[in-house]
Amino acid sequence: MDTTVRDNLIFIAIGILGCISIALTPSCQRRYAEVIDTRGTAAAPVIELSIASSRSAAAKEEMTAVYEADWEEDYLVNVSIEKNGCSAELRTCNESIASVERMGSGSGWLVSANAPGETELVLSITDPEGHIFEYTYTFVVFGHIRLDAVWDQPFGFAGFEVSQYELAETLQADMYISCKLTGWASGDSLNVETIEVEPFNGKIDIDSNTSYPCIIDLDEARQSIWKFKSSDGIPYSERALDMRFIVSLSDPYIVIDGVRADDDLKEPVAYGCTTTATLQQEGIIEHAEKGETVPGVWVNKPQ
């Protein structure tokens, strides 16, 4: 064998044996075990996000996964962070629903509820090491209207009016309205006659015309009551009208704050007939996450 080739083979063999020896050395094994990837161990800072209406700043509460706000209200939002050296930013995902404005240089913001609907408010926390964590909250804005029961007794019609209504868009209402008319003779309220009329069940567009007094015709019912007389010959007259409203609005972010009737008013009842009303609203938006705590999500975690 050529001397040069033999020397090269010997050199290669020595190199291979050396690598094997290093690989089996315990100290070398210990050095490799000490190399630990610490990039995935950052913990989200513990925070407390509080919110309060600007009308009653002292009545603040902890903000949870879903917060329900009122249209055209302003809210004060503040964050406290347990870990020192962190910075915070709050942003909205839809300014047409809610806008955010920082208050001064601290960790406080003014959130304005601009329109019925919902959006997300995202709180970003950056810790001293540069880790960024996001806490996402659902901010739900509700508009409000109120109904007033209407009993047009001289003409024998019943219906409703809409108050506290300033929304620009037309609402379509699926409405069920039932009426029970009760009468008795003067001085004899123990002997009564009640007539339940055919209910209204249909759609009504609520727009700039907010008065709908002629939904149900009660003239035939009251004429039937007038035919009754007490044992003393005193004729009956209508004395009480009970109305029931079941309503579903086309906008699930509009809440009906009740229905007013004569029993809610201090004024004397006209024509001696008192109106009472009950309301059941269906279709309002709901969130199962309401009341839950929001976890922080590490958004710039190394991959």
pLDDT digits (tens, 9 = 90+) for 208-229: 778 999 999 999 999 999 999 9
295: its two tokens: 């976890």
- 240, two tokens: 């009480």
Domain-embedded: residue 184: yes
219-242 mean pLDDT: 94
Contact 108, 102 (CB under 8 A): yes
**Domain-located, residue 214:** yes
Tokens representing 302 are 């190394």
Region 197-209 average pLDDT: 90
CA–CA separation, 295 and 226 (whole Å)? 67
Contact 54, 76 (CB under 8 A): yes
Domain span including residue 76: 47-143+287-298
Residue 37 has pLDDT above 50, yes or no: no
Is the domain of 267 the same as that of 185? yes
Question: Is residue 40, in this structure, part of any structural domain at all?
Answer: no
Same domain, 132 and 153: no
pLDDT at 16 over 80: no
- Say if residue 149 is in the same domain as residue 273: yes
Q: How many angstroms separate the first and last alpha carbons of the chain?
A: 55
Residues 117 and 181 both lie in one domain: no
pLDDT at 95 over 70: yes
Confidence of residue 266 (pLDDT cuts 50, 70, 90): low
Distance CA 221, CA 238 (A): 9
The single residue listed with the structure tokens 């004899």 is 188
Residues 270 and 195 in one domain: yes
Q: Tokens 């969130």 map to which residue? A: 287
pLDDT of residue 105: 72
- Distance separating alpha carbons of residues 61 and 193, to the nearest angstrom: 52
Q: How high is the pLDDT of residue 272?
A: 82
Q: Is 107 exposed, middle or buried (0-12, 13-18, 19+ CB in 10 A)?
A: buried
Based on the fold, state whether residues 128 and 59 are members of the same structural domain. Answer: yes
Same domain flag for 58 and 153: no
Backbone dihedral region for residue 7 (phi beyond 0: left; psi -120 to 50: alpha; all else: beta): alpha
Domains held by the chain: number: 3
Do 58 and 128 belong to one domain?
yes
